[in-house]
Amino acid sequence: MDLNIAIEALLDKDAPDFEISKLLKQSLLDYRDHLEEIFMQNQGKAFLVHHTRKIDTFLNLIYKVVLRKMFREFQPMRNALPIALVALGSYGREQLCVHSDIDLMIVYKETPGYNLREIIEKMLYIAWDAGLQLGHRVHEISELPEVAESDITIKTAILESRFVIGSNFVWMETERQIARIRRNRPKAYVLSKIEEAQIRHRKFPISMEPNIKECVGGIRDANLAFWIASVRHNVFRLRHLAGSVIDEADYTEYRNALEFIFRVRAALHLSAKKKEDTLRLELVPNVARLMGLEKENPQKAQRALVSRTLQSLDTIRKKTAYWTGLLAKPYLFEAGHVPLLRKERVEAGIYRCQDTLYARRHLKPKTFLTYLKMLLKEASAIPIETDASFEHLMDRTEIPKTKGKQLIASIRQIFYLPYSASVIKAIYKSGQLPGAVPPLKKVMYLPQFDGYHHYPVDFHSWFTLKHLDELEHPILKPLFDKLDRDSKAMLKLAALLHDAGKGRRRDHHEVGADLFKVYARKLGFSQELIREGVLLIRHHTRMTKTIHNEDIYDESTVSRFVAPLGSHKILDMLFILTYCDVSAVGPGVYNAFTDRMLKTLYFAASEMLDNPAIIDETAKRLRKEKSLKKLEVFKTLPRTLQRKILGIESNLFFIKHSAREIVDIALHARGVIDYDMQIGAKETLKIEIYRKVPVNLGYLLGKLSHLELVTMEIFKLFDGVKYFVLEFNDTINAEEVPTVEQIIHDSFDMQKSIKLTKPVIKPSEITIDCEHSKTYAMMQIKTANQRGLMAYVAHYFDKLGIDIATAVITTRKHRVNDLFLIEKDGEFCTKKEKILSELTKDS
């Protein structure tokens, strides 16, 4: 049923107010139920205007209902009743969003004979009961100027007034009062609004979850430009200045950006089902769906939504910041400051005041190189800030795709400044950063949905460089200061480009390293510096991943971490870059715990760099791991098995075996229940044993002591499996293979024993080092080659319950060099003296 007809029916039977409110409420609920469908048809400003006018319709109905109920058949003409309903704020601008408060001002003129207060109260109660979220003010016309001057927020709302319904005469008088309000103390009003915006910007900076109403470049900034235009030029729409005060092309770019933000805001309210102006990550999928962005690739659509939102906010920031200065110029300019400005003039039309560069409005732009050189000169000693006027001037220049030598040299010079970030910030705010530093083009406004980063990639990258400029860390600052001038510049470039590879299919570390390599070469950095920069970017998350995911007190962890770095210089620079990178993630992310863990890893790695043998071994293992990961058969293995293989502790296992052999050994080990064996006797005897249960190693080697053992290796694999490899200098024939197999089977009987001849080992020929590493103790025997030597040592260790983790036997020129690694969690070190005594007794 038509709402007007239904209300007429209720009025005809003199229905109480609550029945009319109930009918209106149901109609309002029905309308809200269809808001998503309406939004799909009319997005952006069109949707907000539609919603605004729908609310107008409800208020018109309520106004008419009240007049009918109050005056019945003696209802006066609308203009005769001295009341006007006036929309304020976003409702007044016809930008009312779905769950925003409806700011309404009821203006009246005190006239004898009308019970105005009762009429107004009845309208408000019916509206509230109907479910309208009214924020209201009631004023007599004559008191409007005084009310406006009492509070800047009220004055702002009144300046945005729009007539809804009521007496046209009252509205005309209201407009005259609004004109008086607009003319009253405009300078104080404008300066207060600018100060208010500055406070708001500090409270709501750009982030991964921007508040699109309050943040830098948000709807409030768009409003600010309008408010100042309204006071200064007496206009009711900012577009009225386009083509005159405001450049037409700039206004079009701004209006497109604002239109997109309007779409986002409406979709946000609909998604959250409440007033919500923060683009929270959990709301992004539904907002993208409502806006029609989510078609083939949902993740791509969501990234595009946030990216375009950030870009739109930045466009609004750039345009409104310039217009605010332009429109407020008469209120910001003091004639007494002219001599000071002349003194601080950089060149015609450009001034430096309080370490900030300003440009005269409507100044004809020169070249980007001109302004870049100006920034370099002004930022040579202290950080330089730029006003929107200077940024606008830079924005109107063009950066050639093929950069000449002077421009390349000037861009390179940025990174040699003590405050490089201030120049990058100026270029960023002017919108010219992708042209000046092309590797950053694809990460401009790029969101990071990792729940870790607070800022998009471009802002985070600049912020990383800023932390490097402002480095005061007691350990890191001296490390940075001792770098040579070129290395400092290279590190700054790496800090800016460390995340330039994000948003691609390939690993962003590798893409970023490639981008750095090409760009650094164009800027003229040396091959050695480029190699170091590539290494830093390739491993820029290595320190944080190591401290959060691995045991940094384990020597093997430290050696794996430090092996790709190779020098103290790279380690120092990586620590500096890590500090700046983490500090730029967001407030409080770099904390005391992170600092303590990073320092622990740094000092352990620094100490490890002084032991090149261990690092070389780890580096070899890492190269083998890389080959393994590329192997097709490895890629087909279950993820859990892949992780188990890469988790095998022994570096020697990786060094000794090919990638294919590692896979084959792992596949064999996976199927072991108790133990298994393989015997090869083509040229020399080779025995491979996989076992989960204990083996009587002394017995095994004793029974085979008639053969010359030249190599024995023991590797811990995974799932409790140990892999033994015994290689002999002799061979056996096919008939002897079953005998060897039986000896191996018997070796798993721990009660078996054998009489062994004690070898002759001098005290000087045996070394025990219980500080070999955090995990292992080491024993080395260098003596004459004697049959049964290994059998005797293994038998003795079996008797003491000592587990050999790895053993390597080398025989050359009748001398053996046997190296044993023994896990320190047993009693080997506590029985060190006893072991030495037993093995060298009678020698």
Higher model confidence: residue 224 or residue 792?
224
Q: Is residue 410 part of a domain?
A: no
Whether 339 and 222 map to the same domain: the answer is: yes
CA-CA distances (angstroms) from residue 374 to 228, 361, 568? Answer: 31, 18, 37
Identify the H or E element spanning 270.
helix 248-272
pTM of the model: 0.76
Q: What is the DSSP string of 98-157?
A: TTS-EEEEEEE---TT--HHHHHHHHHHHHHHTT--EEEEEEEGGGHHHHHHH-HHHHHH
Q: Are residues 152 and 63 in the same domain?
A: yes
Q: Which residues, 6+ apart, have CB-to-CB distance to 70 below 8 Å?
A: 115, 118, 119, 122
Q: Please report which confidence band the pLDDT of residue 711 belongs to, taking 50, 70 and 90 as the band edges.
A: confident
Whole-number pLDDT of residue 428: 96
Residues 149 and 204 in one domain: no
Which CATH number goes with the domain that contains 791?
3.40.1020
Which H or E run includes 481? helix 476-481
Higher local confidence (pLDDT), 689 or 333: 689
In a domain, 639, yes or no: no
Q: Is the pLDDT of residue 116 over 90?
A: no
| Within a domain: 662 | no
Q: Indicate whether 39 and 158 sit together in one domain.
A: yes
Kindly state whether residues 103 and 164 are assigned to the same domain: yes
- Specify if 98 maps to a domain: yes
Say whether 670 sits in a helix, a strand or coil. Answer: helix
Residue labelled with tokens 């983490």: 582
Domain assignment of residue 652, yes or no = no
Q: SS3 of 802, please?
A: coil
CATH number at residue 510: 1.10.3210
In 3D, which of 159, 328, 317, 154 has the Cα closest to residue 237? 159
Give the pLDDT band (50/70/90) at residue 812. Answer: low
Whether 161 and 35 share a structural domain: yes
Residues 203 and 172 both lie in one domain? no
What was the pLDDT predicted at 335?
60
Question: For the purposes of burial, counting CB atoms within 10 Å of the CB of 437, is it exposed (0-12), middle (13-18) or buried (19 or more)?
Answer: buried
* Residue where a domain stops, chosen among 592, 610, 628: 610
Based on the fold, state whether residues 168 and 199 are members of the same structural domain. no
pLDDT of residue 816: 79
Cβ-based neighbours of 384, under 8 Å, separated by 6 or more:
355, 356, 357, 375, 378, 419, 422, 423, 426
CB atoms near residue 403 (< 10 Å) = 19
Residue 422 inside a domain? The answer is no
Beta strands in 433-538 (DSSP E): none
pLDDT tens-place string over residues 344-401? 777 888 988 888 999 988 889 999 999 999 999 988 889 999 999 999 999 999 998 8
Is the same domain home to 201 and 178? no
Q: Which domain holds residue 375?
A: 190-404
How many domains does the chain divide into? Answer: 4
pLDDT higher than threshold 80 for residue 803: no
Query: Quick check: is 417 in a domain?
Result: no
Banded pLDDT at 336 (limits 50, 70, 90): low
State how beta strands 356-359 and 385-386 pair: parallel
Chosen domain end from 131, 166, 184 = 184
Residues 194 and 178 in one domain: no
Q: How far apart are alpha carbons 631 and 212 in whole angstroms?
A: 49
- Strand pairing partners for 712? 726
- Whether pLDDT at 185 is above 80: yes
Tokens, residue 189: 């009003």
CA distance 515 to 507: 13
Q: Given a cut of 60, is residue 303 above it in pLDDT?
A: yes
Per the domain annotation, does 466 fall within a domain? yes
| Residue 329 Cα distances to 219, 232, 335, angstroms | 22, 10, 12
Last residue within a domain, chosen from 132, 158, 184: 184
Q: What is the pLDDT of residues 610-626, one digit of tens each?
A: 776 666 677 778 888 88
Backbone angles phi, psi at 794, to 5 degrees: -65, -40
Looking at the structure, do residues 196 and 239 belong to the same domain, yes or no? yes
| Mean pLDDT to the nearest integer, 532-538 | 96
Nearest to 712 by CA among 816, 808, 627: 808
Residues 158 and 199 both lie in one domain: no
- The confidence score (pLDDT) of residue 342 equals 67
What confidence score (pLDDT) does residue 490 get? 97
Residues facing 716 on adjacent strands = 722
